[in-house]
């Protein structure tokens, strides 16, 4: 009898082992899909991406195993493709999108899908979804707080499960300078759309931010410069960006102060943290430069993500993270963004629940606030719209505004589920100063900066990097995507420069330039004349990399970045150690698009040398008429006998004449530093260069100098300290 029970127990144990092996090794869906009794809301161009636990058999992925049913039970004409090394399925919508007049659909994934070893799903998975043509509104406090409660739970889960993973041309005309102006504007991405900066000029005066104040300086004539007035600010406001529009000076910065217990006519307190941060805008009338007059103030809660000025309207985008953890103690907390505009009232207002929209499927615990201030019509109130979602990078054309937001999808690497970053693109239409959401799209990889995006002939173009540069388990690669007016993908180039990442990009009409880097700097020349079939025309590999690309003319491009050196030893991933050396200027000749060449180069200093231009394109002075290019720089020289040490040499600005014929020619070194200084002096560090007529002005916190462009002799000086 004992042997009998031992036999039964042994068989039972074996069956448990077999069952466990079968359970843990069966095919599973990794992506989060709705339960069968839940209907998701999606936009009409929704692309479904479903990730599985194992590699799929391509022969099992077809319109029989994966399909979308409409309300009548008929199959929709969707395109199905395998991605992510055959571990993900992508279901593209019908060519014209899903039908809004018959909005109920079901995504069906059957157990006919199998792995190469024949493993299948335990059963069919059905996801019901409803198609909408506009973003839904939150509508109530209960819905908003419920949203943030879900974010709390998802955040906890993420932290527990997380694996550590590290219509017009917008570029060819990008410089704000033109033959008709006799003073410099800020170097911007899109002609006609100004970008805020810490220093501006209107051709007679210089406006600059310095130590929590704005200084207005009479700059003409250069030998009679004087400080006209100063605008000091209290400690709760820090100015850092300016616009000048006609006789108005627009000062933007961060405001941080105690919140009022009551907002407007609210009868109950918001019951959140007693202090808040906002993006504040102060507008002055500067007809009398000696006595600027404050005419308007406005605030929008959150940190300033981006700003633009076009046709007398200032566009402000803020990102606001409410303190939603307070919901654990107070379920009735009011988490809506606040704003005010003295055109309407000095009392703070709260965005109405019905004016808060959300992106279907969003998993971001913050608001994106888009505010429009019409400075050409002083009585027009501030327009504020709020969206639950995120935004990392921002691009604006004459008609549209685009936000790029990083989101995380799951993928299987080495049989483990890992989150990896991709990008959501949100498109907003600009019409009569109003901003309205139009559509969205999801792309593989992440966006570097605003120059990674562009709009041309109605199409949106973007370059992205996916994967990790030094991780062989998930090697990086780079892609170009072209989307039509409705953000439906119509063309792409994928898997460029494997193992590298994008360092800079520039779109110039039908040509697209992209710089990637790991050990060398490949410059890609891409033909975008056929948006459905972009192609690589040529590639150039040189040492170093370019952080910023600037058009010289139709066939020449200037690259600003760093030289690099390969040193001994091994770095991350077993690769060589790459160190940045001096600042590098490259002149690229792309006349022969199949064979781009580096026509000239200039390397400045050694290790530790840096310029604001390496991360901020607005630091570049461009005088197109005289072919003068200048930028601030701090120069360090490599210390002899040391592999990594360097010594301070120079802080100031460099002026170059750059032409296709003669290349890169140094014209002038300018410094405000005291003689024989052995370190950088903050008060004398040149921040920007501008030009007015035939004079170039170098500007630091403590001084403004002027130099005549004929021989670059000093024409004037103004000490500010």
pLDDT in tens, 587-618: 999 999 999 999 999 999 999 999 999 999 99
Other beta carbons less than 10 A from residue 329's beta carbon = 8
- Under a CB-based contact definition with an 8 Å cutoff, are residues 539 and 557 in contact? no
Total domain count, the chain = 1
Residue 209 phi, psi dihedral angles, 5° rounding: -95, 135
Q: Facing residues of 282 across strands?
A: 251, 297
Mean pLDDT for 463-469 is 87
Of 49, 24, 27, which Cα lies nearest the Cα of 127? 49
pLDDT band, very low/low/confident/very high, at 574 (cuts 50, 70, 90): low
Mean pLDDT for 468-491 is 86
pLDDT for residue 274: 55
Mean pLDDT for 310-326 is 93
- DSSP letter for 93, please: P
- Under a CB-based contact definition with an 8 Å cutoff, are residues 566 and 537 in contact? no
**Cα within 13 Å of Cα(617), Cβ side:** 27
Which residue range is the domain that position 120 belongs to? 39-133
Of 685, 698, 621, 683, which Cα lies nearest the Cα of 650? 685
Helix (H) or strand (E) holding 147: helix 141-161
DSSP string, 455-486: EETTEEEEEEEESBTT-TTSB-EEEEEEE-TT
pLDDT for residue 566: 76
Alpha helices in 26-140 (DSSP H): none
Are β-strands 400-413 and 393-396 bridged in parallel, bridged antiparallel, or unpaired? antiparallel
pLDDT for residue 712: 95
Q: Picking from 219-223, 230-234, 414-418, 548-552, which range would have the lowest pLDDT averaged per residue? A: 414-418
Angstrom distance (rounded) from CA 536 to CA 526:
4
- Under a CB-based contact definition with an 8 Å cutoff, are residues 278 and 255 in contact? yes
Q: How far apart are the first and last CA of the chain?
A: 102
For residue 36, pLDDT over 90 is answered with no
- Under a CB-based contact definition with an 8 Å cutoff, are residues 322 and 348 in contact? no
Angstrom distance (rounded) from CA 689 to CA 654:
10
Helix (H) or strand (E) holding 632: strand 628-638
For residue 266, pLDDT over 50 is answered with no
- Under a CB-based contact definition with an 8 Å cutoff, are residues 355 and 325 in contact? no
- When computed from its CA atoms, the radius of gyration of the chain, rounded to whole angstroms, is 29
Q: What would the pLDDT profile of 297-316 be if each residue is shown by its tens digit?
A: 999 999 999 999 999 999 99
- Under a CB-based contact definition with an 8 Å cutoff, are residues 61 and 78 in contact? no
For residue 149, pLDDT over 70 is answered with yes
For residues 686, 691, 695 and 697, what is the CA-based torsion angle, rounded to 10 degrees? -20
Q: Picking from 32-41, 370-379, 411-420, 525-534, which range would have the lowest pLDDT averaged per residue? A: 411-420
Is residue 84, in this structure, part of any structural domain at all?
Answer: yes
Q: What is the average pLDDT value for the chain, to the nearest integer?
A: 87
3-state SS, 525-541, equals EEECCCCCCCEEEEEEE
pLDDT for residue 8: 56
Q: Is residue 52 helix, strand or coil?
A: strand
pLDDT for residue 109: 95
Is residue 85, in this structure, part of any structural domain at all?
Answer: yes
pLDDT for residue 276: 73
CATH number at 70 reads 2.60.40.1220
pLDDT for residue 570: 58
Is residue 98, in this structure, part of any structural domain at all?
Answer: yes
pLDDT band, very low/low/confident/very high, at 457 (cuts 50, 70, 90): very high
pLDDT for residue 416: 62
pLDDT for residue 572: 55
DSSP string, 513-527: EEEEESSSEEEEEEE
Q: What would the pLDDT profile of 88-99 be if each residue is shown by its tens digit?
A: 899 999 988 899
CA 462 from chain centre, in angstroms, equals 11
Is residue 533, in this structure, part of any structural domain at all?
Answer: no
Q: Is residue 223 helix, strand or coil?
A: helix
pLDDT for residue 579: 81
Angstrom distance (rounded) from CA 306 to CA 393:
8
Is residue 82, in this structure, part of any structural domain at all?
Answer: yes
Mean pLDDT for 661-687 is 95
Q: Is residue 16 helix, strand or coil?
A: helix
Is residue 415, in this structure, part of any structural domain at all?
Answer: no
Of 49, 31, 4, which Cα lies nearest the Cα of 441? 49
Q: What would the pLDDT profile of 493-524 be if each residue is shown by its tens digit?
A: 999 998 899 999 999 999 999 999 876 668 99
In sequence order, what are the residues at sequence separation of 6 or more whose Cβ sits closer than 8 angstroms to the Cβ of residue 593?
A: 511, 525, 527, 537, 538
Among left, alpha and beta (phi > 0; psi -120 to 50; other), residue 390 is beta
pLDDT for residue 269: 47
Residue 567 phi, psi dihedral angles, 5° rounding: -110, 170
Is residue 515, in this structure, part of any structural domain at all?
Answer: no
In sequence order, what are the residues at sequence separation of 6 or more whose Cβ sits closer than 8 angstroms to the Cβ of residue 582?
A: 562, 563, 603, 604, 605, 606, 607, 609, 635
pLDDT for residue 177: 42
Angstrom distance (rounded) from CA 365 to CA 351:
17
Of 18, 9, 71, 78, which Cα lies nearest the Cα of 46? 78
Q: What would the pLDDT profile of 61-88 be if each residue is shown by its tens digit?
A: 999 999 999 999 999 999 999 988 888 8
Helix (H) or strand (E) holding 299: strand 293-301
In sequence order, what are the residues at sequence separation of 6 or more whose Cβ sits closer than 8 angstroms to the Cβ of residue 234?
A: none
Residue 653 phi, psi dihedral angles, 5° rounding: -145, 150
For residue 176, pLDDT over 90 is answered with no
Of 668, 486, 583, 429, which Cα lies nearest the Cα of 93? 486
Is residue 702, in this structure, part of any structural domain at all?
Answer: no
**Total number of residues shown for the chain:** 721
Helix (H) or strand (E) holding 20: helix 2-25
pLDDT band, very low/low/confident/very high, at 195 (cuts 50, 70, 90): very high
């Amino acid at each position: 009898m004992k042997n009998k029970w031992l036999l039964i127990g042994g068989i039972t144990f074996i069956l448990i082992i077999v069952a466990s092996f079968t359970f843990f090794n069966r095919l599973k869906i990794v992506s989060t899909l709705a339960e069968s009794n839940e209907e998701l809301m999606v936009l009409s161009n929704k692309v479904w991406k479903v990730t599985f636990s194992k590699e799929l058999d391509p022969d099992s992925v077809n319109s029989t195993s994966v399909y979308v049913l409409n309300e009548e039970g008929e199959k929709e004409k969707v395109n199905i493709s395998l991605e992510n090394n055959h571990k993900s399925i992508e279901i593209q919508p019908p060519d014209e999108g899903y039908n809004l007049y018959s909005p109920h659909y079901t995504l069906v994934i059957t157990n006919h899908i199998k792995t190469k070893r024949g493993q299948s799903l335990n059963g069919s998975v059905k996801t019901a979804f409803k198609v909408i043509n506009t973003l839904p509104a939150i509508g109530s406090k209960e819905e908003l707080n419920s949203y943030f409660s879900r974010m709390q739970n998802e955040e906890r889960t993420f932290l527990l499960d997380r694996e550590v993973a590290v219509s017009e041309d917008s570029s060819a005309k990008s410089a704000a300078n033109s033959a008709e102006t006799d003073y410099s504007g800020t170097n911007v991405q899109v002609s006609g759309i100004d970008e805020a900066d810490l220093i501006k000029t209107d051709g007679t005066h210089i406006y600059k931010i310095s130590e929590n104040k704005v200084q207005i300086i009479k700059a003409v004539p250069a030998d009679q410069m004087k400080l006209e007035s100063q605008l000091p600010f209290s400690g709760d406001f820090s100015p850092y960006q300016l616009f000048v529009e006609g006789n108005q000076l627009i000062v933007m910065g961060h405001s941080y102060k105690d919140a009022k217990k009551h907002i407007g006519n609210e009868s109950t307190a918001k019951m959140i943290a007693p202090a808040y941060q906002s993006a504040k805008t102060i507008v002055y009338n500067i007809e009398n430069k000696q006595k600027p007059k404050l005419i308007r103030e406005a605030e929008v809660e959150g940190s300033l993500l981006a700003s633009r000025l076009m046709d007398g309207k200032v566009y402000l985008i803020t990102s606001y993270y409410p303190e939603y953890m307070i919901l654990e103690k107070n379920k009735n907390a009011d988490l809506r963004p606040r704003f005010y505009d003295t055109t309407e009232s000095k009392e703070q207002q709260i965005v109405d629940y019905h004016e808060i929209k959300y992106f279907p499927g969003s998993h971001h615990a913050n608001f994106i606030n888009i505010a429009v201030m019409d400075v050409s019509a002083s009585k027009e109130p501030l327009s504020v719209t709020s969206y639950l979602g995120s935004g990392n990078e921002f691009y604006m054309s004459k008609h549209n505004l685009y936000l790029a937001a990083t989101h995380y999808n799951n993928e299987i690497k080495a049989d483990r589920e890992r989150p990896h970053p991709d990008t959501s693109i949100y498109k907003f239409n600009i019409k009569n100063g109003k901003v309205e959401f139009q559509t969205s799209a999801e792309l593989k990889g992440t966006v570097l900066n605003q120059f990674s995006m562009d709009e041309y002939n109605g199409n949106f173009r973007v370059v992205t990097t996916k994967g990790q540069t030094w991780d062989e388990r998930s090697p990086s690669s780079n892609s170009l995507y072209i989307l039509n007016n409705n953000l439906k993908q119509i063309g792409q180039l994928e898997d460029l420069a494997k193992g590298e990442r994008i360092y800079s990009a520039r779109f110039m009409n039908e040509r697209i330039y992209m710089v990637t880097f790991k050990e060398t700097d490949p410059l890609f020349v891409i033909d975008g004349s056929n948006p459905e079939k972009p192609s690589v025309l040529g590639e150039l590999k040189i040492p170093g990399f370019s952080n910023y690309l600037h058009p010289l003319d139709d066939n020449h491009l200037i690259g600003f970045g760093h030289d690099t050196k390969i040193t001994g030893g091994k770095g991350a991933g077993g690769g060589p150690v790459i160190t940045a050396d001096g600042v590098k200027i490259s002149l690229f000749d792309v006349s022969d698009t199949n064979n781009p060449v580096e026509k000239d180069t200039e390397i400045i200093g050694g290790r530790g040398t840096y310029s604001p231009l390496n991360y901020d394109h607005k630091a570049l002075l461009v005088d197109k008429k005289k072919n003068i290019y200048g930028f601030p720089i701090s120069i360090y020289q490599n210390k002899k006998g040391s592999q990594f040490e360097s010594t301070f040499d120079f802080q100031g600005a460099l002026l170059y004449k750059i032409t296709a014929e003669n290349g890169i020619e140094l014209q002038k070194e300018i410094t405000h530093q005291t003689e024989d200084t052995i370190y950088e002096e903050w008060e004398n560090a040149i921040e920007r260069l501008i030009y007015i007529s035939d004079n170039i002005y170098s500007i630091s916190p403590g001084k403004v100098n002027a130099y005549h462009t004929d021989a670059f002799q000093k024409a004037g000086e103004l000490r500010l300290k």
